[in-house]
Amino acid sequence: MTEGSKNMKRLENNFEHLLFSSRWLMAPVYFGLVLAMVVLLVKFGKEVWGLFAHIMTATGGELIIGVLSLVDIALIMNLLIIIMFSGYENFVSKMDDLHNHQDRPEWMGHIGFSDLKIKLIGSIVAISGIELLKAFMNVDNLSDRHLAWMVGIHITFLCSGVLYALMDRLGGKAH
């Protein structure tokens, strides 16, 4: 091997190590999602407080909308956990020290990028469905146009999710 080819190989190896190390640039993003969960927790607390503050004066529909808002926040927080754990393990580093932890979720380490995308679109459809249900519970205060847009957006998410799952399944059979 000539000196020039050795230098090129060394340069190539250094570049590949730099690329591989760049995955750590995602770590602050996952930490940002932890901070987003803190914000959502504060919002959840505010919603619970508001629900209890008006428990005697609220109608059944208002209570249901309040509870659906809590479910909505819980779904988003669950989704963030899935994204943080699986994204970190798939793209940054394995959480080896936590393998034997008694509280480690069973799915951790088993959700691939494709599974993550399916869970993401499924969560978006569920969140959209909850928002649509909240709108239907409050139908007297919304215009027909607003409701039509919400239904259209939900159907778009639903069809996108079904088509994505179908493409994912067909792609899996090809492998």
169 occurs within a structural domain: yes
62 occurs within a structural domain: yes
DSSP state of 93: -
Question: If pLDDT is split at 50, 70 and 90, which confidence band does 42 have?
Answer: very high
DSSP state of 139: G
DSSP state of 107: T
pLDDT score at 139: 84
Whether pLDDT at 152 is above 60: yes
The residue range of the domain holding 116 is 25-174
Mean pLDDT of the chain: 87
5 occurs within a structural domain: no
- For the chain, the domain total comes to 1
72 occurs within a structural domain: yes
165 occurs within a structural domain: yes
Whether pLDDT at 38 is above 90: yes
Q: Which residue has the tokens 């027909």?
A: 144
9 occurs within a structural domain: no
Question: If pLDDT is split at 50, 70 and 90, which confidence band does 94 have?
Answer: confident
The more confident residue out of 126 and 102 is: 126
pLDDT score at 52: 92
15 occurs within a structural domain: no
First to last CA, the chain: 38
